[in-house]
């Protein structure tokens, strides 16, 4: 029996979460690792983290500092650092944390088992932050799951090179996975009871795979193929780029009912001037037209977005244009952040002329308006019948089941029967900002 006990800590986006789940599957298969929740009892420690947030590297070194004593007390512990920060910092990590054994990137995580064996044999640190395209997917074992909803990565990297973003430098250029592999992975999950698929990519709707015969499968083609898989009742995807949100993709909402009435479409700013400085490649009229076309086909569709506040050159007028856009679109929710320069990006060379106080004030105002809209949308759901995909029993109250609406609200309800994995109709009786409580009405027999 193996004595490998693995602890994984994950910071960042859903792509990081997906990568960590694949690391766990791989380590369990190749090194017979037992995944544990206590770092003190682990002999293999992995930190998988992103580099998008401000001072991501400082957060990394603070965490490593807390693990330093574990290494002192047990020199055989192997500490690994991966993800976008690992690519960004590279060997500099060793300069400040010489006790780190392995540094790997998002495209080399499949090499961790081999690297661990080498470390144990040669007792020398290893760094592999190269970009070997998408070979990692060839090494992943078929996932085992008990979840109702699962993430699937379909495209790696990004070609947009927005001036503030480090992702193209840390995850590489866009590379789409073969659609056959994606379909096989989803069928495997479906056979295990998964009912909802959440497709992932830095720019998911740029997906385009060309096979050896020259046949092209773009994102809408892929969605059609997924919709044909038995028992997949819902399809979500994150993150989209407005430039790739084509009319073809919009029209597919007429044909695929499994696509939920919810789209996350980052806009970043309501000012054309700032969008140009960000190199976002669209303007506000074009963004609004996408939403308008979607709402013609799906009148009840809800939209969420991303916003960067205080980008260099953002005036009060630019900020007011962002607020105007928020009020015009009526966003359901958002991920909004104060701008922070990322090393090596073009925006990091711009004059960051806005005070931290002003940035925080603008962020507070923006989040206030978004929260008001979120609250109103939740309140409008009161006394309505919502289709809810039941995911499990509430961890906080074993008397309640929970699931999600199409617009991603968590709904809690009581019932004597077990409907986990099924779509059910719930009448909403209580409304909070992001969660709802309701009464079971019936099973939703719409199997598409």
Tokens 């080498």 belong to residue: 118
Which helix (H) or strand (E) segment holds residue 285: the answer is: helix 284-297
pLDDT at residue 426 in the model: 97
Q: Is 351 exposed, middle or buried (0-12, 13-18, 19+ CB in 10 A)?
A: exposed
The pLDDT tens digits of the residues spanning 396-444 come to 899 999 999 999 999 999 998 999 999 999 999 999 988 999 999 999 8
Whole-angstrom Cα distance, residue 59 to residue 64?
A: 9
Q: Report phi then psi at 410, rounded to 5.
A: -80, 130
Residue 86: CA count within 13 A, CB half-sphere? 31
Average pLDDT over residues 206-217: 93
Average pLDDT over residues 91-116: 92
Cβ–Cβ under 8 Å, residues 278 and 268 = yes
The full DSSP string for 34-69 is EE-S-GGG-SEEEEEE-S-STTHHHHHHHHHHHHHH
Residue 53: CA count within 13 A, CB half-sphere? 12
The pLDDT tens digits of the residues spanning 7-32 come to 999 987 888 899 999 999 999 999 99
pLDDT at residue 446 in the model: 65
Strand 175-176 and strand 155-156: the pairing is antiparallel
The pLDDT tens digits of the residues spanning 122-165 come to 888 999 998 887 788 888 888 889 999 999 999 999 999 999 99
Question: What does pTM read for this prediction?
Answer: 0.91
Tokens for 357? 């106080």
Tokens 């960590």 belong to residue: 20
pLDDT at residue 53 in the model: 60
User: pLDDT averaged over the chain?
Assistant: 93
pLDDT band at 1 (very low <50, low <70, confident <90, very high): very low
Q: How many CB atoms lie within 10 A of CB 205?
A: 24
pLDDT at 54 over 60: no
Cβ–Cβ under 8 Å, residues 196 and 232 = yes
Question: Does the CA dihedral 48-54-57-58 come out positive or negative?
Answer: negative
2/190: higher pLDDT: 190
């Amino acid at each position: 029996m193996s004595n490998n006990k693995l602890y994984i800590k994950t910071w960042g986006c859903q792509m990081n979460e997906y990568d960590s789940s694949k690391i766990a599957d791989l380590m369990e298969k190749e090194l017979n690792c037992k995944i544990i929740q206590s770092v003190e009892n682990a002999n293999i420690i992995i930190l998988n983290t992103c580099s998008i947030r401000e001072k991501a590297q400082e957060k990394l070194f603070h965490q490593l500092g807390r693990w330093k004593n574990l290494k002192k007390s047990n020199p055989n512990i192997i500490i690994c650092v991966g993800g976008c920060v690992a690519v960004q910092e590279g060997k500099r990590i060793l300069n400040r944390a010489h006790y780190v054994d392995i540094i790997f990137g998002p495209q080399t995580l499949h090499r961790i088992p081999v690297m661990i064996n080498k470390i144990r044999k040669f007792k020398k640190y290893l760094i592999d932050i190269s970009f070997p395209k998408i070979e990692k997917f060839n090494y992943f074992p078929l996932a085992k799951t008990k979840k109702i909803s699962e993430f699937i990565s379909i495209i790696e990297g990004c070609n947009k090179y927005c001036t503030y973003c480090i992702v193209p430098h840390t995850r590489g250029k866009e590379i789409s996975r073969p659609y056959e592999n994606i379909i096989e992975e989803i069928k495997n999950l479906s056979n295990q009871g998964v009912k909802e698929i959440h497709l992932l990519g830095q720019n998911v709707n740029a997906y385009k795979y060309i096979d050896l015969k020259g046949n092209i499968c773009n994102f809408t083609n892929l969605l059609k193929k997924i919709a044909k898989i038995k028992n997949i009742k819902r399809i979500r995807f994150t993150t989209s780029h407005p430039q790739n949100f084509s009319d073809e993709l919009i029209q597919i909402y007429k044909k695929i009912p499994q696509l939920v009435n919810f789209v996350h479409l980052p806009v970043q700013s309501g000012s054309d001037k700032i969008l140009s400085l960000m190199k976002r490649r669209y303007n506000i009229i074009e963004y609004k037209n996408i939403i308008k076309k979607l709402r013609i086909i799906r009148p009840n569709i809800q939209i969420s977005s991303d916003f960067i506040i205080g980008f260099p050159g953002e005036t009060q007028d630019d900020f007011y244009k962002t607020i105007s856009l928020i009020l015009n679109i009526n966003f359901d929710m958002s991920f909004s952040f104060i701008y922070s320069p990322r090393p090596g990006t073009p925006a990091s060379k711009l004059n960051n002329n806005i005070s931290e106080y002003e940035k925080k004030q603008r962020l507070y105002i923006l989040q206030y308006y978004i929260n008001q809209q979120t609250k109103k949308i939740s309140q409008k759901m009161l006394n309505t019948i919502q289709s809810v995909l039941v995911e499990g029993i509430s961890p906080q109250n074993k008397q309640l089941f929970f699931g999600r609406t199409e617009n991603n609200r968590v709904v809690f309800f009581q019932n004597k029967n077990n409907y986990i994995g099924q779509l059910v109709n719930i009448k909403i009786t209580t409304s909070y900002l992001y969660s709802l409580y309701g009464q079971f009405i019936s099973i939703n027999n719409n199997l598409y």
